[in-house]
A and B are shown apart, each in its own frame.
Chain A
Amino acid sequence: MADPASPVVRLDGVEHRFGAVRAVAGVDLAVAAGECLGLVGHNGAGKSTLMHVLAGTLRPDQGALAVQGEVLTGRYDVVVAQRQGIRCVFQEFSLCPNLTVAENARILHPALTGFGWRAQAGRLIGEALDRIFPGHGIAAGDVVGDLSIAKRQMVEIARAFTVTDVPVRLVILDEPTSSLDAMVAGQLLAFVRSFTASGGSAILISHLLGEILGTADRIVVLRDGQVVATRPAAEFTRDSLVAAMGSVAKAEPGARPAAAAGRAGTGARIRAQPARQTDGQELVVHPGEIVGLAGLAGHGQTDMLLQLFAAAGRRGGRTLVAGEVALVAGDRQADGILPLWSIAKNITISSLRRMTRFGLIDPAAEQALASEWQARIQIRTPDLEHNILSLSGGNQQKALFARALGSAASILLMDDPMRGVDIGTKQEVYGIIRAEAAKGRSFVWYTTEMDELAHCDHVYVFRNGRIVADLARSELAEEKVLQASFAEAAA
């Protein structure tokens, strides 16, 4: 390893907030030349935010940033990062699907212009692909939109290693192997090793702990936006990593007493299998049950909810959903609220069919329903006729809960609804959910927060679109959820 006194990148006390949420709360991080740094943490630990800070796409609210000892705080952005040779392979797709592979290489390199740029760009990306993924089968003239997901990911990774005028110093790889098969992933990790051996630096983020343990020199563990452990990779094992990521013996405030009725007692209200499930494992929900969907974000939980939503009221097929369904959206700005409407109208929209008289909406019934739910879940507003946007985020979310609870639905699907909601409101809503479950309603609750699973009677852990663990309330432990989320293909 090179002299750690002159790190390629150094972060001191970096902090970044999204609204009320501190995504990154005072992180110190240094990457030495020739080092491969592994970065792990559970959902919302702040990994992606930190990467965006390093890539220059997010400006931190506080803290200092230095590249090669030069302090760049405050004037660091994407262009500066590029010029310093810092490249990032983002988790979300960042190629232009309408352009060819060579043209996408050009997007990253302002130096590729003039006569013959196309051939030069093609040669550049072709050589990088040959070096990293021998036998890749991608031509420089292929349109990216026509390639398979795996090949796009290969192009994106190869592009980060192409060099024109600035040498590549640091490459940040955020879940680079998520859509690669084991063989290609192996090629990539071997290349990262040889890249760092020749003096380059890399930051590797992956939920496959084996990759991190086998590739990184040093591992940094993030939790709740803070660094909780930094040690050479050799000193970690799978279990000690998982332990470091989880919180230590957290109290469970207001956790629910174990469900009285056994599962076998009543008939199931929902029986469903994820589309990619192969081993016959089913999601089962009984009346009065709160069922949690856990695992890392984007591993098929939302798809499961949408599958249930689509199957509601339909007979036959693999998915059984007996009863009316209401969905509480997680992204309330995009999928939840009707921003031009009043609070009352936002609450009653799902129940309008029950409130008509002679085919017209009965305003008295509408008013009554809205005020009833305002009182029951305490939406803090002087007047329900005010615009929904006059409410705070937490109260907007409450209005969405009121919409779902006020409808006749016996099954509520919740798509991580507590994102960005303050703790007081959360506690109130947990109470409402428990009370409604006691009355016989069923809840299917996708959550990215470990604490919320404590409110569930049953938890299914998702990975790669499949259910990989089925934990009853008595067996639920954070460690088990983490183990299942980060498990790898059986060795």
Chain B
Amino acid sequence: MTAGLLTPRVLRSLLPALSLAVLLVAIFYLQPRAMSYFGINLLLNLAVPIALATLAQMFILTVNDLDLSIGSFVSFVACIAATWLSEMPLLGILALLGCILVYALLGALIYLRDLPSIVVTLGMSFVWLGLSVLLLPTPGGTAPGWLQALMKLKTPLVPFCVIAAIVIGLVVHLGLMRSAHGAVLRGAGGNPKAVARAGWSLLRIKVTMFALAGCFGVLAGLALVGLTTSADANIALRYTLLSIAGVILGGGEFVGGRVSPIGAVIGAMTLTLAGSFLSFLRLSPDWQIGAQGAILILVLALRMLINRAEARR
């Protein structure tokens, strides 16, 4: 490896962006017509809700927890948005705020009772799913007009979904990676004892991170229903695993507070594109999920190789 610029550390941080670029180039090669305003919009507009859900998952991973309920939570939010929010906006808004509150309380519960987050959120995933079915027994409902209008916004030159992804990534990057409070939040993932010894309340940190996750989960549900215009109790169940994969693909780690918001957004986009890429290859949909897994394994294997190269130095 050449000294200087291409150190393993630089390579590792570039890996998410490189994987996305490789995938984009492959898609444009297979289907040159995708290389247009319209084509990119079609390819990437579903990446916005996935990116938001991935960031929600990232907040939880930052404090060494895991959220197995994010998929059914996003579905539930979508159901609220397609029913209450358009029919009785006040009730809808209150319900969404209540959802965020429940997330914050989950954080407090997990911290105070020292419970494994996997168990708590796995249980919650069934609660959210049950609530969604109660609210919307059959697929349907209508997204509020303003939400549809927002998600279908025609921005000049660059499609809305790309701008939204960039803005979301940058905002979270500034908040979590650059701000003084973000440093404390991430520190709580790296060495909780040290952060507590410096006088910070771990309870408050945990509640903050879970509330943020709830907030981004709500945004993800809204964005999703704005695109699909109607909802269904199972609409986002696969987001749970996609969001975890997105964070890891973007350079985050399961423990230790090592996360990257921009990486997570890129990871979410990569996973969204992977589906389209496989369609362009004329791969049967039956194989697509497996092929997505293969892409994930490939990128993670590359990261392992880079890490090993680093350890050898």
Contact = CB atoms under 8 A, between A and B. Distances in A.
Interface residues of A, number: 27
B193 A107 contact: no
Interface stretch (B22-30, B155-163, B179-187): B179-187
Interface stretch (B91-99, B197-205, B242-250, B292-300): B197-205
A427 B194 CA distance: 39
A107 B256 contact: no
B180 A99 contact: no
Nearest to B192: A96
A90 interface: yes
A107 B258 contact: no
A113 B198 contact: no
Interface in A82-101: 82, 88, 90, 93-99
A57 B193 CA distance: 10
In the complex, which of the residues B180, B186, B187, B256 has the most CB atoms of chain A within 10 Å of its own CB atom? B180
B257 A98 contact: yes
Contact of B187 (A79, A88, A99): A99
Contacts of A103: 183, 186-187
Given A95-B194, A99-B190, 12 more contacts: A78-B196, A78-B198, A79-B199, A94-B197, A96-B194, A98-B258, A106-B183, A107-B184, A107-B200, A108-B198, A110-B199, A113-B181
A94 B193 contact: yes
B198 A107 contact: yes
A376 B270 CA distance: 64
B97 to A, nearest CB: 27
B36 interface: no
A17 B194 CA distance: 23
Nearest to A159: B198
Contacts of A113: 180-181
A56 B222 CA distance: 46
B178 interface: yes
B221 interface: no
A107 B178 contact: no
B279 interface: no
6 contacts: A82-B199, A90-B197, A94-B191, A95-B191, A114-B180, A145-B190
A106 B199 contact: no
Contact of B256 (A82, A97, A104, A112): A97
A118 interface: yes
B107 interface: no
Contacts of A78: 196-199
Contacts of B257: 96, 98-99
B169 interface: no
A55 B197 contact: yes
A103 B197 CA distance: 15
B197 A98 contact: no
Interface string B247-276: 000000000111000000000000000000
A117 interface: yes
B195 interface: yes
Interface string B194-219: 11111110000000000000000000
**Which 10 pairs of residues, A with B, have the shortest CB-CB distance?**
A96-B190, A98-B190, A94-B194, A96-B187, A103-B183, A113-B180, A79-B199, A98-B257, A96-B191, A117-B180
A95 B196 CA distance: 11
B71 interface: no
Nearest to B178: A118
A466 B191 CA distance: 30
Nearest to A117: B180
Nearest to A144: B190
Chain B interface mostly helix, strand, loop or mixed?
helix
Interface string A29-63: 00000000000000000000000000101000000
Contacts of A114: 180
B189 interface: yes
In the complex, which of the residues B186, B194, B258 has the most CB atoms of chain A within 10 Å of its own CB atom? B194
A317 B108 CA distance: 52
A107 B189 contact: no
Contacts of B194: 93-96, 107
A99 B187 CA distance: 7
Contacts of A93: 191, 194
A32 to B, nearest CB: 26
Nearest to B189: A98
Given A97-B256, A107-B200, A112 B180 contact: yes
Contacts of B197: 55, 57, 78, 88, 90, 94
B199 A96 contact: no
Contact of B180 (A95, A98, A106, A145): A106
A104 B180 contact: no
Contacts of B189: 98
Nearest to A55: B197
A97 B190 contact: yes
A118 to B, nearest CB: 7
A94 B200 CA distance: 14
Contact of B198 (A82, A118, A146): A82
B290 to A, nearest CB: 33
Contacts of A104: 187
Nearest to A52: B197
A107 B195 contact: yes
Nearest to B187: A96
A110 B181 CA distance: 9
A106 B184 contact: yes
A98 B188 CA distance: 10
Contacts of A118: 178, 180
B196 A98 contact: no
A9 B311 CA distance: 45
A430 to B, nearest CB: 36
Contacts of B200: 107
B55 to A, nearest CB: 18
Contacts of B195: 96, 107
Contacts of A145: 190
